[in-house]
Amino acid sequence: MLLVFGAVLPSGNLCAQEKDLAVQDVNEDNLGNVTDQFQEYFFEALKQKGIENYEKALRALQRCEELQPESAVIYFEKARNYNALEDYDKAITNLKKAHELAPAREDVLHELYKTYTRAKRYPEAILSLKKLIEIDKDYRQELANLYLMNQQYDEALQTIEEVDKERGTSSYRNKLRQQIYARTGNIGAQISNLEKAINEQPKNEKNYLNLIYIYSDRGNEQEAYRTALKLQENVPGSSLVHLALYKFYLEMKQPEEAIKSMKTVFKSEEIDAKSKYKVLNDFLRFVDHNPNYEDELMSVSKTLREKENLPKLYEQLGVYYMKRGANEDALNFLEEGLADNPNDFELLRNTLFLQLELKKYKDARDLSEDMLEVFPTQPVLYLFKGVALNKLQEFNEAIEILTFGLDYLIGNPGMEIDFYTQLELAHQKLGNVKESQAYKTKAEQLIKELQ
């Protein structure tokens, strides 16, 4: 869509009614009606901008400027094209001209403030935004953010407080306030602010979690734990509190309570999959040192499979079971993860490796064949397929795919030895003694060079 001084136009062909709307906007900005020639260049500019030919659009607008040099809309449009080209200095020059010709236009001031911000000219952006605030006080929140970007932290906090007094608190302004405290290192003020927010809004879980994070980050685990218990008391049904509690229980050597909290996290509809993935990592590390809780891990794994669709969860579980030698369980998780994320190459490698380990040669052959369409230059996929074909006694096909895969192999002598070994085997099974011996010799020579 295109915006012409407040008129919204589609980026493709312009119908007669839409043209009239845009020309009316131009006419209101000028004395008298525009000419047919002006219209022709003007709509050519809009068309070229719509298909991202910004240079051509600017040339057409230049012709418009020659015909109507006092038209603010032309400078506004020129600025938008320069912004698209990231030529902010020229955009600003044209916006200043447009503002001079049309000082009451909010859209010009808004574009000017945004352009100054993109150019990181924050003091000038602030001045433009203050003019916008005279038109609409809603811009004060953006002013606080600009003050933060310009490292005017006191002014930013003052603006946030003024808006809060008029409109009440908001999560966006609270985040701005937390950023200011973090940048200035004023942890005491940050803690006081969060404690105040908790007293004012005892049901707002986010404030408790932020305070827990700050206490934990500073090593004050006792206060962090106290805050978590306070959250549990004030919001008894909270599942978010268990994102903190399970860690405290692990540190306090209360594994049963920790596992209860973990299970609450995994069952929660409120907690996102990414957070559950982090908790799962901690659970896996815990079970590594406490294998007697592996049944609990299996129970959690089942819950995750039923409730979440995050390939990384399956991959992490698959790798865990691989390390423990439970290859069947590992392969089940890896295959589920790969079904949802076929472009994860490491997940693919592990899956193919386990399929070969578990003698699922047809699965390995078919999977590697499918994935070669996605990763046609990955030599290891040719090797996996070659191994599977040899195991299936499809020796001619193995020779073909392995020979083809060697063309993509660069600087990996270990894998090259594997290729030669599989080619030696395939030729031997076909009775090609000369070829088999040749590949055996190549493999032995490389082994000697690596010793």
Reported as a single tens digit per residue, the pLDDT across 209-243 is: 888 888 887 788 899 999 999 999 999 889 989 98
Q: What pLDDT band is residue 403 in, cutting at 50, 70 and 90?
A: very high
Structure tokens at 366: 């078919």
Q: Whole-angstrom Cα distance, residue 312 to residue 323? A: 17
CA dihedral angle for residue 99, residue 100, residue 102, residue 108, rounded to 10 degrees: 0
If one counts every other C-beta atom within 10 angstroms of the C-beta of residue 109, the result is 23
CB-based contact 37:67 (threshold 8 Å) = yes
38 membership: H or E segment, kind and range: helix 36-50
User: Global pTM?
Assistant: 0.50
Q: Whole-angstrom Cα distance, residue 73 to residue 75? A: 6
Q: What is the pLDDT of residue 313?
A: 73
Is the confidence at residue 17, as pLDDT, over 80? no
The three-class DSSP label of residue 13 is: coil
Reported as a single tens digit per residue, the pLDDT across 290-346 is: 888 888 877 777 777 666 666 677 787 888 888 878 899 889 888 988 887 888 898
Give the mean model confidence (pLDDT) for residues 195-206. 86
The more confident residue out of 350 and 306 is 350
9 membership: H or E segment, kind and range: strand 7-9
The more confident residue out of 218 and 45 is 45
Side-chain half-sphere CA neighbours of 284 within 13 A = 19
- Which fold, 364-451? 1.25.40
CB-based contact 174:158 (threshold 8 Å) = no
The more confident residue out of 196 and 93 is 93
Poorest-pLDDT segment among 117-121, 375-379, 408-412: 408-412
Average pLDDT, rounded, for the chain: 85
Q: How far is CA 410 from CA 345, 368, 420, 423, 448, in A?
A: 18, 20, 14, 18, 19
Q: What pLDDT band is residue 58 in, cutting at 50, 70 and 90?
A: very high
CA dihedral angle for residue 419, residue 423, residue 425, residue 428, rounded to 10 degrees: -160
Q: Whole-angstrom Cα distance, residue 451 to residue 448? A: 5
Reported as a single tens digit per residue, the pLDDT across 141-162 is: 899 999 999 999 889 888 888 8
